[in-house]
Amino acid sequence: MPLSLAAQVEALAPQLIAWRRDFHRHPEQGWTEFRTASRVAESLDALGYQVAVGDAVVDREARLGVPDAATLADALARARDQGGVTRWLAAMEGGLTGVVGTLDTGRPGPTLAYRFDLDALPILESEAGTHRPARLGFRSCHPGSMHACAHDGHTALGLGLAHLLPALASRLTGRIKLLFQPAEEGVRGAGAMAEAGVVDDVDHFIATHLGLGQPEGTLICGADGFLATTKLDVTFTGRAAHAGGEPEKGRNALLAAAQAVQALHAIAPHAAGASRLNVGRLEAGSGRNVIADTAFMQLETRGSTTAINDYVEGRAREVLAGAARMQGVELAIARLGAAVECASSPALVERIATALEGRAGIRELITHDTTPAGSEDATLLMRRVIERGGEAAYLIFGTRLAAGHHHPEFDFDEATLAPTLEALASIALALAGEAADADGRELAE
């Protein structure tokens, strides 16, 4: 008799933890996930999936915030030394680190896609003895890079689902696609995968996250609190001059930036919903007696809707241009990241909620929630699916955290991995299973 889904997940539980800890020890930041992505591709191929990587799944021109060539080359060399799988790395060279695995059941049915993010953050991980990864020996081996947002857990879940689905294939119809996305941090990667067309055939799209402030056992089926956002790098270029001898010959980039900061934070809010603007970095000048000829600024805008974020970004660009004109300096603005509002499909959310009600590990099921939760570029994939007639939903699985997301002592409870994996597999049976009733709930275990 075939093992039940619960038994299959229980058997995989130790491997889920092992994968998570391996990825945690070897974090790779956006567009440099060569080791992670190549090992994922190798696993998918060994399981019989149709595997696509590189240009086939990432539109190189649509990428945002790509590191310089030297950084990419160093990361690729490091991946080769640390267990990256050579036969996949050539296609990923230059930062094309997306992977898509497709399981075709051979029977007519919908195309279901899951998205899992791969990348780490530019954070120096804690060495404290109270920090479990440090105590147990899986702390980051890359100083200055850390999995501090659970993406290591997400990638492990993706591999776990990849292992489960072939065993469930006789109970499924259609095709299931597993998307492993680079560069979620800074909302830089999903747009490039969307532009490559990887979800253009998708009927149902699922994105997930562990934690995000939700307690252990809580599941949100339609987490729509993510804000639309834009990340901008701004450079003012003026003319240097002696501040005491010939100040009139200078064009002060520092003053332009300072005036812009003050005006940016005075942009009026929008009546239709919440908005945010933050200047997080400002560098300018070279010495006290030199008119500053350069200034560099990093800022972000956010809005509860895409329209509100567009309003804030548009006003910000006007302010920056006005400050540059006031000081007679040149202005350059680069768009380093972007995401849209999160809008889960109500009908899909209801089907997921029906399928998962009462499942193991789920103590509280919330159908819909709009509590602000930062920003997330899976929204670009969700929008692409919905624009083409499909449905999409964003799920949050609560877990205990040692510290908040993006903190040097971030860690999550690995016991959450197994019930989350079972839920994700149950969604496949509910949406693409032969034994699903009209409500999308699996009839047979």
Is 274 inside a domain boundary? Answer: yes
Could you tell me if 349 and 221 are in contact, meaning their C-beta atoms sit under 8 angstroms apart?
Answer: yes
Is 39 inside a domain boundary? Answer: yes
| 3 state SS of 272 | coil
Instruction: Inform me whether the pLDDT recorded for 91 exceeds 70.
Output: yes
Quick one: pLDDT at residue 228? 98
Could you tell me if 88 and 43 are in contact, meaning their C-beta atoms sit under 8 angstroms apart?
Answer: no
Same domain assignment for residues 247 and 386: no
Task: Give the CATH number, domain containing residue 282.
Answer: 3.30.70.360
Quick one: pLDDT at residue 3? 80
330-339 sheet: strands from edge to edge: 275-284, 294-303, 228-237, 330-339
Same domain assignment for residues 204 and 315: no
Is 442 inside a domain boundary? Answer: no
Same domain assignment for residues 296 and 314: yes
Same domain assignment for residues 328 and 362: no
Same domain assignment for residues 400 and 364: yes
Residues 6+ apart with CB under 8 A from 97: 31, 32, 33, 34, 36, 37, 58, 118, 182, 183
Is 444 inside a domain boundary? Answer: no
H helix count then E strand count, the chain = 12, 12
Task: Give the CATH number, domain containing residue 140.
Answer: 3.40.630.10
| 3 state SS of 98 | coil
Could you tell me if 121 and 149 are in contact, meaning their C-beta atoms sit under 8 angstroms apart?
Answer: yes
**pLDDT band for position 2 (cuts 50, 70, 90):** low
Quick one: pLDDT at residue 163? 98
Same domain assignment for residues 209 and 307: no
Instruction: Inform me whether the pLDDT recorded for 437 exceeds 70.
Output: no
50-53 sheet: strands from edge to edge: 50-53, 99-104, 175-181, 111-117, 204-210, 391-397, 218-223, 364-369
Instruction: Inform me whether the pLDDT recorded for 282 exceeds 80.
Output: yes
Q: What pTM was computed for the model?
A: 0.94
Instruction: Inform me whether the pLDDT recorded for 72 exceeds 50.
Output: yes
| 3 state SS of 140 | coil
Residue 205 CA: distances (Å) to CA of 5, 7, 234, 367: 22, 26, 35, 16
Same domain assignment for residues 221 and 284: no
CA distance 394 to 436: 21
CB environment 25-44: b (16+ within 10 A), e (fewer): bbbbbbbbbbbbbbbbbbbb
Could you tell me if 432 and 355 are in contact, meaning their C-beta atoms sit under 8 angstroms apart?
Answer: no
| 3 state SS of 280 | strand
Q: What would the DSSP string read from start to end of 293-344?
A: -EEEEEEEEEESSHHHHHHHHHHHHHHHHHHHHHHT-EEEEEEEEEE-----
- DSSP label at 95? T
In this structure, what are the phi and psi dihedrals at residue 233, rounded to the nearest 5 degrees? -105, 130
**pLDDT band for position 429 (cuts 50, 70, 90):** very high
Is 238 inside a domain boundary? Answer: yes
Is 437 inside a domain boundary? Answer: no
Same domain assignment for residues 184 and 326: no
Token readout for 239 is: 């003319």
Same domain assignment for residues 260 and 406: no
Same domain assignment for residues 316 and 240: yes
Residues 6+ apart with CB under 8 A from 188: 30, 31, 63, 64, 65, 66, 231, 336, 337, 377
Question: For residue range 39-51, what is the model confidence (pLDDT) as tens digits?
Answer: 999 999 999 999 9
Same domain assignment for residues 115 and 210: yes
Domain encompassing residue 28: 5-226+342-432
Same domain assignment for residues 352 and 335: no
Is 438 inside a domain boundary? Answer: no
Is 440 inside a domain boundary? Answer: no
**pLDDT band for position 252 (cuts 50, 70, 90):** very high
Quick one: pLDDT at residue 440? 39
Tell me the residue type at 90. A
Tell me the residue type at 304. S
Mean pLDDT, the chain, as a whole number?
96
Token readout for 160 is: 């776990």
Domain tally for the chain?
A: 2
Q: Which of 339, 369, 397 is the last residue of a domain?
A: 339
Q: Which of 313, 339, 365 is the last residue of a domain?
A: 339
Instruction: Inform me whether the pLDDT recorded for 443 exceeds 50.
Output: no
Residue range 15-31: mean pLDDT, rounded: 98
Q: Which of 311, 339, 367 is the last residue of a domain?
A: 339
